[in-house]
Amino acid sequence: MSIEAAVRESLATATGAILVTAEAGRAGETVQHLRAAKADIVLLLLDSSVPAIERAMLVAAIGPLAVELASYTRIGAIDVMAGAEEGDVAAAARFLAAARSTTGQILRVAPEI
């Protein structure tokens, strides 16, 4: 199972959660998707395949987007490092979905050392 599939499965029971997956070369479109999503929480999944500069731009956008969207939705991001376990990423997604007073949070999930 892919990391994205594991996260989607873990959010299946989270009411009002939308997952937006970042893709290489589409940072601007990703921000537009985040802005357009209408949900209790919108989670951005940053896979390790997204180039570093785009990852940095998208991570930097989360705080301002949280302020912009605060009246109707929460936003969070999961920054997945190469080698991270699917279960750990899914757990991070469940945590952010359940943390009802949290917006603008970015969780980095790295492999165990």
pLDDT digits (tens, 9 = 90+) for 42-100: 999 999 999 999 999 999 999 999 999 998 999 999 999 999 999 999 999 999 999 99
Domain that holds residue 7: 3-109
For 3, phi then psi, to 5°, come to -60, -45
Alpha carbon distance 80, 70 (integer Å) = 24
Number of C-beta neighbours around residue 37 at 10 A: 17
Q: Model-level pTM?
A: 0.93
pLDDT digits (tens, 9 = 90+) for 27-52: 999 999 999 998 999 999 999 999 99
Q: How many domains does the chain have?
A: 1
Alpha carbon distance 110, 113 (integer Å) = 9
Report the CATH number at residue 29.
3.40.50.720
